């Protein structure tokens, strides 16, 4: 697969397009949809972060506030209390970038001071007017994600006339706003926000048409891991609900990861890094076999 984009910042360097990058999820929360409370104590969080790194994570994404549907916001001080000790401990042990998953500038600033080197903002810089300045002054990459509304309301009958077109336009505008606020395009990553204000059909359409987002000119992150659309498909007409931690949900996640990579994702955000590494190794080889003209291209990412 041909080289597409190299992102260099501070002490880090990462290429996108040659092989799939894997972002490991580390939720330091009592209420996340899949693993809430499981890694909430500091020792367990740090241990799991090290485990994800050993399993092959290219980035660790640490979050202290659940963004599951209908969740309530967490005060900045509490979010800082949850994530900063974990980031500080992990940054002493690891060389890979640590991302802070937050919409709050104060949390992002505290996390960066503790050792984080990337911002994953599910609001695409919309919720906190100071977030862009934190990113600009720290010189770290920013992930801009599409979400319809906010976590509390995003799954209340989400509607689009053209889900791909509308989300493309949203991300295009988010990139423009970030650049206007001094964040270079070479440090931006786009995420269409699978599961964030989308129905089952919306998610399937986005997954099938991911190649559309290559025209944004930045790396594409996709986060399908254990999402409700996977559980809904697996459940079919059976009664009851499937737990996000059920083995068949991880099988479904790997199928979604494979589809995302085949359709243009440069990085995937997942709970199970080890299995995703195995999936990515196979699918990357298949993508490479298509030939350079069909490999995952990024146009204009350095501008």
Taken in order 257, 258, 260, 261, the sign of the CA dihedral is positive
How large is the average pLDDT for residues 37-60? Answer: 89
Taking alpha carbons only, the member of 39, 95, 102 closest to residue 76 is: 102
Report the pLDDT value the prediction gives residue 29, as an integer from 0 to 100.
Answer: 87
Report the pLDDT value the prediction gives residue 33, as an integer from 0 to 100.
Answer: 45
Report the pLDDT value the prediction gives residue 156, as an integer from 0 to 100.
Answer: 82
The residue extents of the domains of the chain are 5-294
Taking alpha carbons only, the member of 189, 229, 188, 175 closest to residue 207 is: 229
Set 21, 227, 231, 296: catalytic member? 227
Report the pLDDT value the prediction gives residue 36, as an integer from 0 to 100.
Answer: 45
Backbone angles phi, psi at 128, to 5 degrees: -130, 115
Report the pLDDT value the prediction gives residue 198, as an integer from 0 to 100.
Answer: 95
Query: Is the pLDDT assigned to residue 237 strictly greater than 50?
Result: yes
Report the pLDDT value the prediction gives residue 240, as an integer from 0 to 100.
Answer: 87
Q: Which residue has the higher pLDDT, 273 or 153?
A: 273
Rg (CA), the chain: 18
Report the pLDDT value the prediction gives residue 211, as an integer from 0 to 100.
Answer: 96
Whether residue 185 lies in the annotated active site: no
Judge contact between 101 and 63, C-beta under 8 A: yes
Query: Is the pLDDT assigned to residue 167 strictly greater than 80?
Result: yes
Report the pLDDT value the prediction gives residue 2, as an integer from 0 to 100.
Answer: 44
> How do residues 56-112 score in pLDDT, each as one tens digit?
999 999 999 987 676 678 899 999 999 999 999 999 999 999 999 999 999 999 999
Query: Is the pLDDT assigned to residue 202 strictly greater than 60?
Result: yes
d(CA 277, CA 241): 28
Mean pLDDT of the chain: 92
The percent of residues in the chain predicted with pLDDT above 90, rounded, is 81
Set 21, 68, 269, 296: catalytic member? 269
Does domain 5-294 sit in CATH 3.20.20.20? Answer: yes
Whether residue 269 lies in the annotated active site: yes
Report the pLDDT value the prediction gives residue 13, as an integer from 0 to 100.
Answer: 97
């Amino acid at each position: 697969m041909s080289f597409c984009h190299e992102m260099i910042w501070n002490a880090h360097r990462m290429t996108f397009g040659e092989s799939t990058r894997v972002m490991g999820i580390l939720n330091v929360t009592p209420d996340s949809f899949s693993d809430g409370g499981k890694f909430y104590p500091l020792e367990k969080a740090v241990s799991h972060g090290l485990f994800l790194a050993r399993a092959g994570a290219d980035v660790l994404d640490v979050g202290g506030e659940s963004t599951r549907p209908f969740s309530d916001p967490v005060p900045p001080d509490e979010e800082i209390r949850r994530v900063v000790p974990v980031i500080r401990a992990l940054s002493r042990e690891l060389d890979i970038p640590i991302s802070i998953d937050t919409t709050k500038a104060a949390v992002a600033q505290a996390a960066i001071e503790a050792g984080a080197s990337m911002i994953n903002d599910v609001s695409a810089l919309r919720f906190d007017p100071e977030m862009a300045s934190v990113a600009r002054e720290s010189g770290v990459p920013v992930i801009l994600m599409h979400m319809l509304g906010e976590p509390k309301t995003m799954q209340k009958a989400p509607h689009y006339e053209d889900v791909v077109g509308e989300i493309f336009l949203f991300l295009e505008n988010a990139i423009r706003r970030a650049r206007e606020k001094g964040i270079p395009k070479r440090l931006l990553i786009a995420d269409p926000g699978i599961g964030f204000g989308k129905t089952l059909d919306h998610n399937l359409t986005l997954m099938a048409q991911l190649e559309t987002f290559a025209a944004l000119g930045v790396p594409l992150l996709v986060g399908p891991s254990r999402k409700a659309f996977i559980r809904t498909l697996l459940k079919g007409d059976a009664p009851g609900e499937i737990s996000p931690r059920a083995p068949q949900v991880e099988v479904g996640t790997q199928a979604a990861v494979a589809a995302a990579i085949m359709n243009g994702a440069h990085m995937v955000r997942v709970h199970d890094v080890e299995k995703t590494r195995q999936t990515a190794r196979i699918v990357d080889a298949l993508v490479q076999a298509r030939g350079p003209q069909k490999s995952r291209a990024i146009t204009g990412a350095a501008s």
